[in-house]
Amino acid sequence: MTAEELRTAGVELFGEWGWQTRLSEALGVDGSTVRRWVSGAVPIPGPVDAAIRCFVEKKRMEEGP
């Protein structure tokens, strides 16, 4: 997952404002960690990538067609 894919997923999950904080809470990590991922300063770990993709899929399934 790229930093841009992370941003897109975060906005889809939590909206344009405050998504980084809400995503950090959902993942159980510090907000500064999410900001480092978004900036590209630190790679996004595979398990985090998988969790975010699951969150997005679940949300899409709940919203229906």
Q: Note the pLDDT tens digit of each residue in 12-61.
A: 999 999 999 999 999 999 999 999 999 999 999 999 999 999 999 999 99
And the tokens for 35?
């900001």
Confidence band, pLDDT 50/70/90 cuts, at residue 64? confident
Query: Which pTM was predicted?
Result: 0.89
Q: What is the CA radius of gyration of the chain?
A: 11
How would you label 30-59 residue by residue, b for 16+ Cβ within 10 Å and e otherwise? eeebbeebbeeeeebeeebbeebeebbeee
| Cα distance between residue 25 and residue 61, in whole Å | 22
